[in-house]
């Protein structure tokens, strides 16, 4: 049995296949998944698993060099946006490396997800709780 934090075999496999600058999206329950992008559906019911815990868990296994967020997330769901920023800040402090953060419109965000290797769908019901992670390198 896997000893690490991340137990989901599909997500673990996804992360193990990432190269530098590859992208994955972690989404709320409502983000549309393009037909050409793998869907890894973790959603069980309203709020399970939640967005923040999913982000934290994935970041234990994935080197993230940049993130993309919809501007609407910061405006419409400021409490969840702040929780995400706290997670990012903690990761930056832990690694000593900055993570680039950029904002786009929600419509542009949905277009950008077409380049993701996969979209990991959570049970989150918070509006615009979506993030694109760009993979870094560990050396």
What are the residue numbers of the active site?
Answer: 20
Token pair belonging to 25: 């999206």
Does the CA dihedral 34-39-45-47 come out positive or negative?
A: negative
Task: Name the strand (E) or helix (H) holding 63.
Answer: none
DSSP 44: -
The rounded distance, in Å, linking the Cα atoms of 36 and 5 is 29
Residues in contact with 43: Cβ distance below 8 Å, sequence separation at least 6, in sequence order: 29, 49, 121, 122, 123
In angstroms, the CA 109 to CA 45 distance is: 24
């Amino acid at each position: 049995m896997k000893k690490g934090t991340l137990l989901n075999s599909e997500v673990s496999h996804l992360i193990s296949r990432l190269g530098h600058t590859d992208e994955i999206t972690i989404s709320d329950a409502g983000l549309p998944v393009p037909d050409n992008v793998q869907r890894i559906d973790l959603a069980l019911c309203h709020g399970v698993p939640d967005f923040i815990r999913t982000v934290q868990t994935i970041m234990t296994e994935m080197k993230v060099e940049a993130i993309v967020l919809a501007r609407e997330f910061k405006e419409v769901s400021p409490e969840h946006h702040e929780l995400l920023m706290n997670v990012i800040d903690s990761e930056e402090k832990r690694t000593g490396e900055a993570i680039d953060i950029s904002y786009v419109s929600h419509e542009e965000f949905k277009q950008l997800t077409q380049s993701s290797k996969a979209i990991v769908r959570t049970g989150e019901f918070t509006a615009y709780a979506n993030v694109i992670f760009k993979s870094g390198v560990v050396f």
